[in-house]
């Protein structure tokens, strides 16, 4: 932020769905909470695990911001209604939704179970319907708002290993946002998607070694080599993109995608 200027998200109330981290360290959700708090927003840190929600909220408060930790399954309409009600009791409004929650499981068409397929679609895609139905009417009544979905390069490219259910769900996230953007444009509700590439997060560190059949350090180096810029991205680099699209600096941007991938998808174009 430039000295003397008001923070980009001053006065905004942001609900981050998928705010926590699956392991010690910085996830995209947790980095987004802190980044947007530093830019003036109050944060509703929602996660399926209460401890993860509280951890994200604690980091916001350490950074000087205001945060409300909320536990909810994003695929459960009643739980999400309760979470929104709690946010409204605390802050009175919700200006921004960051739809960041997501799960996946490695496997192709013959490997993925129907149960895993259904759960991945529910958490990654149906959750968008649930949250949008809850928040769009509030945003319309408030005079506008912003929804930022988080997809993945896996939603637009094959990334080197079978990740079918996750990849299909992330493609759906992109198209959901495009369709919602058209429907809500006249209500001044902007809907956009951030598409991260290979990002160095705790989930990646925990899981990617199995995909590459290597130890964590070798797996990380292999992913670095895939990227034209020579390294994986950081959660903070994705969080900066989210914060931009959430802000009024992006007031004439809706129905589009912002790639944060170090050139990866261009390599395979």
Residue 228 within any structural domain of the chain: yes
Task: Give me the pLDDT at residue 218, please.
Answer: 82
Judge if 183 and 212 occupy the same domain.
no
Mean pLDDT over 215-234 rounds to 88
pLDDT in tens, 244-255: 999 999 999 999
Mean pLDDT over 228-250 rounds to 97
CATH number at residue 252: 3.40.50.720
Residue 7 within any structural domain of the chain: no
Residue 269 within any structural domain of the chain: no
Mean pLDDT over 201-225 rounds to 72
Task: Give me the pLDDT at residue 236, please.
Answer: 98
Judge if 44 and 86 occupy the same domain.
yes
Q: Please tell me the pTM assigned to this model.
A: 0.94
Judge if 29 and 156 occupy the same domain.
yes
Residue 6 within any structural domain of the chain: no
pLDDT in tens, 71-126: 999 999 999 999 999 999 999 999 999 999 999 999 999 999 999 999 999 999 99
| Parallel, antiparallel or unpaired: strands 189-196 and 257-260 | parallel
Residue 81 within any structural domain of the chain: yes
Judge if 132 and 161 occupy the same domain.
yes
Positions annotated as catalytic residues are: 166
Query: What is the spatial distance between Cα 20 and Cα 72, in angstroms, rounded to a whole number?
Result: 12
Judge if 211 and 143 occupy the same domain.
no
Judge if 83 and 206 occupy the same domain.
no
For the chain, how many residues are written?
A: 269
Query: What is the spatial distance between Cα 150 and Cα 80, in angstroms, rounded to a whole number?
Result: 18
Task: Give me the pLDDT at residue 190, please.
Answer: 98
Residues 6+ apart with CB under 8 A from 103: 119, 120, 123, 124, 166
Task: Give me the pLDDT at residue 107, please.
Answer: 94
Residue 222 within any structural domain of the chain: yes
Judge if 187 and 206 occupy the same domain.
no
Query: What is the spatial distance between Cα 161 and Cα 140, in angstroms, rounded to a whole number?
Result: 41
Structural domain boundaries enclosing 71:
13-197+234-259
Judge if 140 and 22 occupy the same domain.
yes
Task: Give whichever of 1-5, 167-171, 197-201, 204-208 has the largest mean pLDDT.
Answer: 167-171
Residue 212 pLDDT greater than 80, yes or no: no
Q: Distance from CA of residue 128 to its chain's centroid? A: 11
Residue 109 within any structural domain of the chain: yes
pLDDT in tens, 8-53: 999 999 999 999 998 889 999 999 999 999 999 999 999 999 999 9
Residue 5 within any structural domain of the chain: no
Residue 202 pLDDT greater than 90, yes or no: no
pLDDT in tens, 127-171: 999 999 999 999 999 999 999 999 999 999 998 889 999 999 999
| Cβ contact 101:79 at 8 Å | no
Task: Give me the pLDDT at residue 60, please.
Answer: 98
Query: What is the count of structural domains for the chain?
Result: 2
Residues 6+ apart with CB under 8 A from 124: 101, 102, 103, 104, 166, 169, 170, 172, 173
Judge if 168 and 228 occupy the same domain.
no
pLDDT in tens, 181-200: 999 999 999 999 999 999 99
Judge if 118 and 210 occupy the same domain.
no
Task: Give me the pLDDT at residue 267, please.
Answer: 84
State phi, psi for 47 to the nearest 5 degrees.
-150, 160
Judge if 190 and 207 occupy the same domain.
no
Judge if 228 and 174 occupy the same domain.
no
Name residue 46's beta-bridge partners. Answer: 17, 70
């Amino acid at each position: 932020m430039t000295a003397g200027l008001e923070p980009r998200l001053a006065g905004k109330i942001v609900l981050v769905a998928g705010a926590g981290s699956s392991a010690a360290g910085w996830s995209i959700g947790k980095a987004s909470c802190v980044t947007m708090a530093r830019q003036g927003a109050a944060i509703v840190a929602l996660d399926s695990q209460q401890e993860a929600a509280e951890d994200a909220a604690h980091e916001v408060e350490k950074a000087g911001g205001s945060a409300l930790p909320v536990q909810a399954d994003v695929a459960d309409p009643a739980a999400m209604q309760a979470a929104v009600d709690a946010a409204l009791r605390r802050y009175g409004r919700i200006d921004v939704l960051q739809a960041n929650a997501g799960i996946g499981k490695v496997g192709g068409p013959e490997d993925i179970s129907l149960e895993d397929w259904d759960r991945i679609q529910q958490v990654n895609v149906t959750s968008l319907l649930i949250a949008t139905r809850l928040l769009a009417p509030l945003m319309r009544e408030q005079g506008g708002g912003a929804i930022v979905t988080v997809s993945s390069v896996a939603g637009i490219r094959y990334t080197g290993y079978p990740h079918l259910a996750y990849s299909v769900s992330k493609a759906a996230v992109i198209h959901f946002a495009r369709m919602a953007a058209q429907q809500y444009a006249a209500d001044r509700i902007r809907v956009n998607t951030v598409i991260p590439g290979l990002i160095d997060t705790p989930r990646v560190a925990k899981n990617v070694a199995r995909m590459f059949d290597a130890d964590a350090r070798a797996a990380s180096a292999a992913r670095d080599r895939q990227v034209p810029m020579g390294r994986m991205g950081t959660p903070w680099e994705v969080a900066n993109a989210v914060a931009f699209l959430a802000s009024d600096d992006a007031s004439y941007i809706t129905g589009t995608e912002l790639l944060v991938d170090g050139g990866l998808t261009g390599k395979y174009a």
